[in-house]
């Protein structure tokens, strides 16, 4: 990035006061300082990216940026599960980043900051919580994923999650009027809208929303389609996009490998996964296969091999949904390799980063208890 661009980003960031801490820290000041520096840089770049990508800048509502620290005695019920969140009030928008998720890995907050900044700038421009929330959540999430660059990986992760549960790759698609719309489907739908309207048309849609337009009405005007036709077209396009990422034979092969692993036939499972890995499938399928392969190695006590595969899944700068279990399994590898202190450190780090997840907390407690 050029010096003038960096200076522009810094000026944009300074306009709304910078990050503030939600409380006092009892942990490492050095780690918190490193995170604060990362967040300051990420926020400046996020505002510039939104300006150039969407032609949007903060508007009627001011934006406050908060680094939240866990307070002493704070119960799990008070801790949100999100990687970050944005709240829209009457006079301001508040973006919150939970420090505990990123103290060990500050770079993983980069795209989260961009994601939340998209929500914040859209809400700030639209001007009221009511008008902002009237825009469908799938569109808000999909747009944030589009700008942050997380969208493709979110789709891959959702495909992986359905495969690892024994489902089919497109099982998470319900259409944007479904009872539960995953952010990944929102992203795919936003991709269709941008493709249909073009970059200028997409920006025009956002501009009309900022000026008080009703989402459904403006989208119908710009696309020339009624809502029912829009929903059908977006769902069909999403199915097509997913079908390009994994073939039907590969899905059957993965399901067979999963079944073999669940029945304890680890060699057979790995044979199927090896075939799957040799046919050039997408990242979503490869990651799912590696993860399942590593789990079978852990179950058989082949800890060194498993550790290498698990570490390869921890891609720098991105937080995969099954990251807690990757670290859990890595801890099992460390313990199995005769390194109990390293195992404890890994497991405690997981507990620190995911305090909201009672299932993770329960599993970690059991694993730690076994090493006492």
Sequence ranges of the domains in the chain: 1-127, 135-246, 280-370
Quote the pLDDT of residue 353. 86
Residue 245 has pLDDT above 70, yes or no: yes
**Per-residue model confidence (pLDDT) at position 225:** 95
Percentage of the chain exceeding pLDDT 70: 88
Q: List % helix, strand, coil for the chain (3-state, nearest 5).
A: 65, 5, 30
> Residues 187, 145: contact at Cβ < 8 Å?
yes
Over residues 83-105, the mean pLDDT reads: 94
Tell me what the mean pLDDT of segment 201-206 comes to: 97
User: Given a cut of 90, is residue 24 above it in pLDDT?
Assistant: no
Residue 366: other Cβ atoms inside 10 A = 8
Report CA-CA distances (Å) from 198 to 50, 152, 223.
17, 19, 10
- Local confidence band at 224 (pLDDT 50, 70, 90 cut-offs): very high
* Domain 280-370, architecture per CATH: Alpha Horseshoe (1.25)
Query: Do the Cβ atoms of 204 and 178 come closer than 8 Å?
Result: no
**Which is higher by pLDDT, 316 or 88?**
88
pLDDT at residue 310 in the model: 92
Q: What is the predicted pLDDT for the residue at 279?
A: 62
Query: Which pair of tokens denotes residue 307?
Result: 């550790």
pLDDT band at 79 (very low <50, low <70, confident <90, very high): low
Residues 283 and 157: their CA atoms lie apart, in Å, by 9
Looking at residue 354, its pLDDT comes to 86
Pick from 55, 135, 46: which is nearest to 88 by CA? 135
For residue 9, the model assigns a pLDDT of 42
Residue 1 has pLDDT above 90, yes or no: no
Taking the CA of residue 197 as centre, how many other CA atoms within 13 Å lie in the half-sphere pointing to its CB? 23
Domain formed by 1-127, architecture = Roll (3.10)
Residue with the bigger pLDDT between 279 and 366: it is 366
- The upper half-sphere exposure of residue 263, i.e. CA atoms within 13 Å in the direction of its Cβ, equals 11
82: tokens are: 């999100």
pLDDT, mean of residues 146-170 = 91
3 falls in which pLDDT band (50, 70, 90)? Answer: very low
CA 40 to chain centre: 20
pLDDT at 356: 79
Model confidence at 6: pLDDT above 50: no
Contacts of 245 (CB under 8 A, 6+ apart): 155, 156, 159, 169, 281, 282, 284, 285
> Which residue from 197, 172, 170 is spatially nearest to 182, judged by alpha carbons?
172
pLDDT mean over 200-224: 96
**pLDDT band (50, 70, 90) for residue 71:** low
Task: Tell me the percentage of the chain whose pLDDT exceeds 90.
Answer: 65
Residue 137's CB: how many other CB atoms inside 10 A?
A: 12
Instruction: Tell me the whole-structure pTM to 2 decimals.
Output: 0.86
Task: Give 107-134 pLDDT, tens digit per residue.
Answer: 999 999 999 999 999 999 999 999 999 9
- Rg (the chain; Cα; Å): 22
Beta strands in the chain (DSSP E): 19-21, 62-68, 85-88, 92-98
Using one digit for the tens of pLDDT, what is the confidence trace for 261-317?
999 999 999 999 888 866 655 777 888 888 999 999 999 999 999 999 999 888 756
pLDDT at res. 30: 84
What pLDDT is attached to residue 25? 53
Q: Is the model's pLDDT at 259 over the cut of 80? A: yes
Q: What is the DSSP string of 92-123?
A: EEEEEEEGGGTSS-GGGGHHHHHHHHHHHHHH
Q: Supply 348's token pair.
A: 């405690």
The C-alpha atoms of residue 177 and residue 228 are separated, in whole angstroms, by: 10
């Amino acid at each position: 990035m050029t010096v003038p661009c960096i200076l522009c980003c810094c000026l944009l960031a300074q306009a709304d006061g910078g990050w503030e801490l939600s409380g006092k820290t009892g942990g490492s000041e050095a780690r918190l300082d490193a995170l604060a520096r990362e967040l300051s840089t990420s926020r400046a770049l996020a505002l510039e990216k939104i300006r150039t990508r969407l032609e949007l800048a903060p508007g009627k509502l001011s934006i406050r940026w908060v680094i939240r620290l866990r307070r002493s005695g704070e119960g799990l019920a008070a801790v949100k599960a999100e990687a970050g969140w944005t709240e829209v009030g009457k006079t301001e928008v508040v973006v919150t980043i939970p420090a505990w998720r990123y103290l060990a890995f500050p770079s993983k907050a980069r795209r989260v900051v961009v994601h939340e900044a998209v929500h914040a700038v859209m809400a700030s421009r639209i001007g009221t919580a009511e008008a902002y929330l009237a825009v469908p959540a799938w569109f808000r999430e999909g747009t944030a994923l589009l700008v942050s660059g997380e969208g493709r990986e979110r789709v891959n992760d959702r495909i992986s999650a359905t495969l690892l549960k024994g489902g089919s790759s497109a099982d998470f698609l319900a259409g944007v009027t479904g009872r539960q719309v995953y952010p990944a489907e929102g992203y795919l739908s936003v991709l269709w809208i941008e493709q249909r309207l073009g970059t200028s048309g997409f920006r025009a849609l956002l501009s009309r929303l900022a000026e008080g337009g009703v989402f459904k009405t403006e989208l119908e005007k710009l696309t020339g389609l009624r809502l029912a036709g829009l929903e059908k077209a977006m769902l069909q396009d999403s199915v097509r996009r997913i079908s390009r990422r994994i073939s039907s034979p590969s899905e059957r092969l993965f399901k067979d490998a999963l079944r073999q692993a669940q029945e304890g036939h680890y060699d057979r499972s790995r044979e199927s996964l090896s075939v799957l890995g040799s046919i050039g499938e997408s990242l979503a399928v490869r990651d799912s296969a590696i993860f399942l392969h590593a789990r079978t190695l852990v179950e058989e006590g082949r800890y060194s091999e498993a550790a290498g595969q698990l570490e390869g899944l921890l891609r720098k700068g991105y937080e995969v949904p099954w990251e807690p279990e990757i670290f859990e399994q890595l801890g099992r590898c460390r313990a199995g390799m005769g390194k109990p202190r390293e195992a404890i450190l890994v497991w405690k780090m997981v507990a620190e980063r995911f305090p909201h997840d009672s299932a993770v907390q329960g599993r970690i407690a059991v694993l730690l208890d076994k090493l006492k």
